[in-house]
Amino acid sequence: MLDFTPKEITERKALTINPAKTCQPIGAMYASLGIHGCMPHSHGSQGCCSYHRMHLTKHFRDPIPATTSSFTEGASVFGGGSNLKTALKNIFTIYQPEIVAVHTTCLSETIGDDLTTLIQEGKALIPEGKHVIHTNTPSYVGSHITGFSNMVKSIIDYLAEGEGKGANGKINIIPGFVNPGDMKEVKDLLGKMDVPLTMLPDTTGVVDSPNTSKFKMYPDGGTTVEEIKDCGNAKATIALGSFASADGATGLEKKCGVPSVTLKMPLGVKATDEFLMEVTKITGKPVSPEIERERGQLVDTMVDTHHQFHGKTVAIFGDPDHVIGMTEFVISLGMIPKFILTGTPGKSFDKQIEAILEESGIDKESIKYKNAGDLFLLHQWIKNEPVDLIIGNTYGKYISRAEDIPLVRFGFPILDRIVHSYFPIVGYKGAMRLMEKISDALLERQDRDAADKDMELTM
């Protein structure tokens, strides 16, 4: 058993215990699934591909297709070029995808495989009209969010065309590493404003596809290759989240001249307001009355229930864009984000958290926050100063159980609950859902601890 007793916390620069992240290839694989007819390909050993598929399958409860270069000792010594070429031949012959999205692993990166050259050498194996793209995703750098960002940028670098003059009348949305339920909510919001868009990537209809009792290798969802090519003709690109989405947006701006703006994930009232106002600014379309009603319902609910949240302390951990958005949201509810941590490295995380704290009037010296942190550190913080609630992914349940603190499951991965990926946490509807989850957790604990005479049927 690990001993968390010591009160003094020392800096550990060379050691991570219980990481609050996973590796780059998982993010790249998920981004690839957002392309229609795409086969993600892991250029490395079979074990890497199996682990990444398993993690995504357990989170989405949907089978995740992917292929691998199947490195053995020979490829590890002499390079994986032959393996990749054989793989491409077999993939197009057996699975017939529209596009293959190759991502590297620790092994192929360490031995230095040049994917650009290898794909060019295997060009004769690619059927006419089909595509092969790649991105570099060494697992020993960054996190799954970095891998997602790298793949989105590579998709744009390989495929996007156009002159950035808004000829197609659309706006591009890069949604970040979010569930299909969140992507659908963003599309629904813009649909209510009659704003045409291209979402890249788009996993709606892919990892939430219906059971039709018929096998279909590639579900109907995903952004088509033609839509991706047309991204360069959009009016503008909105990146939702600086860590997962900004690189793709700026890459498209540099390549095709499409203006880009990076916003926070639209989580909560303020961030959703900012997103919709930016859409209005770009398109000239007003926010629809239906959306205004949704916002009003959210604000009304916040007013009605403020006493449940006021002054409650919370520890938040997970992916940086999620954590930044959740920090701003819990503050709007009157809660105190005592501990804020992400496993993804990046000093901009600290700067964005500091800006939120400063705007809200919270003394940042009273709050602990860290990028590139781990769950061992978070557990030490909580042991020294217990909180009322933990918000984070499945791996937070071990701290929750050890310290007897309620956990609200949030972000990626959630491996021990179901259906979560179908429902949004973004937008006004998503904010109401988060309020319900947080309120339920706090009230459940209050009911558990209350004496019988203090139990109330209404709050």
* Cα–Cα distance measured from residue 175 to residue 178, given in angstroms and rounded to the nearest whole number: 7
CATH class of this structure's domain 24-159: alpha beta
| pLDDT exceeds cutoff 80 at 301 | yes
Omega within 30 of 0 (cis) for the link into 201: yes
Task: Give pLDDT tens digits for 73-84.
Answer: 887 878 889 999
| Stretch 250-266: mean pLDDT | 97
Share of the chain above pLDDT 90, in %: 90
On the 0-12 / 13-18 / 19+ scale of CB atoms within 10 A, 88 is: buried
pLDDT band with cut points at 50, 70 and 90 for residue 5:
low
The pLDDT of residue 77 is 79
Residue 450, pLDDT score: 86
Are 420 and 409 in contact by the 8 Å Cβ rule? The answer is yes
Q: Which residue has the tokens 């393996």?
A: 83
Q: Kindly state the average pLDDT of the residues 47-68.
A: 95
Looking at per-residue pLDDT, the higher value among 282 and 458 belongs to 282
Res 193 pLDDT > 90: yes
Residues constituting the chain: 459
CATH 3.40.50.20 fits 293-446, yes or no: no
Where residue 7 falls among pLDDT bands split at 50, 70, 90? low
Name the superfamily (CATH) of residues 171-287: Nitrogenase molybdenum iron protein domain (3.40.50.1980)
Tens of pLDDT, residue by residue over 377-388, are 999 999 999 999
Give the model confidence (pLDDT) of 235-245 as tens digits: 999 999 999 99
* Helix pair 269-283, 320-332: axis angle to 10 deg: 110
Output phi, psi for 430, to 5 deg.
-65, -35
Mean pLDDT value across the chain:
94
Per-residue pLDDT tens digits for 94-116: 999 999 999 999 999 999 999 99
For 431-436, what is the mean pLDDT? 98
Region(s) of the chain under CATH 3.40.50.1980: 24-159, 171-287, 293-446
The amino acid at residue 200 is L
The stretch 145-155 carries a mean pLDDT of 98
Look at residue 1 and tell me whether its pLDDT is greater than 70.
no
**Best CA proximity match to 430, nearest among 337, 336, 291, 285:** 291
- Tokens standing for residue 6: 């010591």
Confidence band of 2 (pLDDT split at 50, 70, 90): low
The arithmetic mean of pLDDT across residues 334-354, rounded, is 97
- Average pLDDT of the segment spanning 27-47: 97
H/E run at residue 76: helix 73-78
Mean pLDDT of 66-93: 91
